[in-house]
């Protein structure tokens, strides 16, 4: 089933709201227990003005709720029910961070089974564990529908106009230090995110990225170089004269797909029409439209936020 343009716009808006480096950092901090402005400030290293703006935005979209604290002029920011549903995305971001940075995160304990928590993704339909290679991104099951994908990607890049990060913004935050995670820096960079999505949709050639994303060659080059440096993409020559290359996410890079599809699932679940349409991704192994489910690798139960504690 094709997604109407309303849905594509909803996905683009949702990604715009969540998948930026500031909001990703704020949400990670909130899941680690931050709820005061000053705690967010020290935990994320985001500038005061940006933090304030992003918290207002999350409050406006009812992901966080701003409530009075015991101090007359200070507020607490706590998750709404809808915000709490970002837990799975947050756990996947944590896993992605570990894989991409090579540093193990602080272990979490799943209190309901008593074991160390390790996230496992299963297909809600067949209950089998999901592997990144077994997910078919939109439309590919019945041939490429470039027009639809083009629309979707362009909606996202059009949304981002005016807010596009400067070239130098990759891997730096507004204060110039590097407190933020590699995931926030890469998924939170609009161009990096678009390139990853395009690649998941099997756009692999330099010229196709240019055409589809409406991106400047130097910007594209810089991002592709970054992906290779981080071991997230591999470059392969497919033509000798003149030399032409294609780019593919590595095994490590492909892991971004689980996070992005989780976010997409969360966005669609918040929209009546989106709910009816489903994810439009397909689990190759069973052929069902993909609804991914995150469970504890030990007990196979879906964890609740109050059952997860840092050890
Ligand atoms: Zn399945
Ligand atoms: Zn468990």
In a domain, residue 304? The reply is: no
Distance 154 CA to ligand 1 centre (A): 30
Q: Which of 137, 82, 84 is nearest to 249 (CA)?
A: 137
User: What pLDDT score was predicted for residue 10?
Assistant: 84
Distance 28 CA to ligand 2 centre (A): 21
In a domain, residue 245? The reply is: yes
Q: Which of 131, 106, 159 is nearest to 310 (CA)?
A: 106
Distance 302 CA to ligand 2 centre (A): 8
Q: Residue 246 is part of a domain; what is its CATH number?
A: 1.10.10.10
In a domain, residue 198? The reply is: yes
Q: How far apart are CA 115 and CA 109, in angstroms?
A: 6
Instruction: Mark residue 121 as left, alpha or beta (left: phi above 0; alpha: psi -120 to 50; beta: remaining).
Output: beta
Number of domains the chain is built from: 1
In a domain, residue 31? The reply is: no
Distance 122 CA to ligand 2 centre (A): 14
User: What pLDDT score was predicted for residue 26?
Assistant: 95
Distance 259 CA to ligand 1 centre (A): 17
Strand ranges inside the chain, DSSP E: 64-68, 75-79, 108-110, 115-116, 119-123, 135-136, 233-239, 244-249, 282-283, 292-296, 308-310
Which ligand ends up closest to the CA of 120? 2
User: What pLDDT score was predicted for residue 179?
Assistant: 55
Rounded to the nearest 5 percent, the helix, strand and coil shares of the chain are 50, 15, 35
Distance 124 CA to ligand 1 centre (A): 7
User: What pLDDT score was predicted for residue 155?
Assistant: 61
User: What pLDDT score was predicted for residue 6?
Assistant: 75
Q: Is 109 exposed, middle or buried (0-12, 13-18, 19+ CB in 10 A)?
A: middle
Q: Cβ–Cβ contacts within 10 Å for residue 232, how many? A: 24
In a domain, residue 154? The reply is: yes
Per-residue pLDDT tens digits for 89-130:
999 999 999 999 998 888 999 999 999 999 999 999 999 999
Query: Under 8 Å CB-to-CB from 226, ≥6 apart: which residues?
Result: 170, 171, 186, 192
3-state SS record for 249-270: ECHHHHCHHHHHHHHHHHHHHC
Q: In the chain, which stretches have pLDDT less than 50?
A: 1, 140-143, 161-169, 171-178
User: What pLDDT score was predicted for residue 285?
Assistant: 93
In a domain, residue 72? The reply is: no
In a domain, residue 121? The reply is: yes
- CB contact at 8 A, 37 and 27: no
Distance 246 CA to ligand 1 centre (A): 30
- CB contact at 8 A, 64 and 83: yes
Whole domain around residue 167: which residue ranges?
87-256
In a domain, residue 71? The reply is: no
Distance 274 CA to ligand 1 centre (A): 20
Distance 137 CA to ligand 1 centre (A): 14
Distance 303 CA to ligand 2 centre (A): 7
Which ligand ends up closest to the CA of 288? 1
- CB contact at 8 A, 252 and 96: no
Q: How far apart are CA 121 and CA 96, in angstroms?
A: 13
């Amino acid at each position: 089933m094709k997604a109407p343009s309303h849905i594509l716009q909803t996905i683009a808006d949702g990604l715009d709201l969540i998948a930026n480096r500031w909001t990703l950092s704020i949400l990670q901090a909130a899941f680690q227990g931050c709820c005061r402005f000053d705690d967010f400030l020290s935990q994320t290293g985001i500038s005061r003005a940006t933090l304030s703006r992003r918290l207002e935005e999350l409050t406006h979209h009812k992901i966080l709720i701003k409530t009075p604290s015991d101090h007359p002029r200070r507020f607490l920011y706590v998750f709404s029910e809808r915000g709490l549903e970002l837990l799975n995305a947050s756990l996947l971001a944590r896993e992605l961070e570990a894989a991409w940075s090579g540093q193990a995160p602080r272990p979490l304990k799943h209190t309901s089974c008593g074991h160390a928590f390790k996230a496992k993704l299963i297909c809600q339909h067949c209950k089998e564990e999901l592997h990144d290679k077994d997910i078919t991104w939109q439309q590919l099951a019945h041939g490429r529908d470039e027009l639809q994908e083009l629309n979707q990607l362009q909606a996202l890049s059009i949304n981002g106009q005016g807010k596009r990060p400067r070239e130098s913004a990759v891997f730096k935050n507004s204060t110039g230090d590097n407190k933020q995670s590699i995931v926030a820096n890469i998924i939170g960079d609009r161009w990096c995110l678009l390139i990853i999505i395009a690649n998941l949709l099997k756009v692999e050639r330099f010229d196709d990225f240019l055409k589809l994303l409406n991106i400047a060659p130097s910007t594209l080059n810089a991002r592709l170089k970054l992906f290779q440096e981080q071991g997230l993409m591999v470059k392969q020559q497919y033509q000798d004269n003149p030399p032409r290359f294609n780019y593919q996410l590595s095994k490590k890079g492909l892991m971004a797909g689980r996070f992005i599809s989780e976010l997409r699932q969360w966005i669609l679940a918040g929209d009546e029409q989106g709910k009816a349409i489903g994810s439009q991704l397909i689990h190759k192994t069973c052929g069902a439209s993909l609804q991914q489910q995150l469970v504890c690798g030990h007990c196979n139960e879906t964890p609740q936020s109050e059952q997860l504690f840092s050890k």
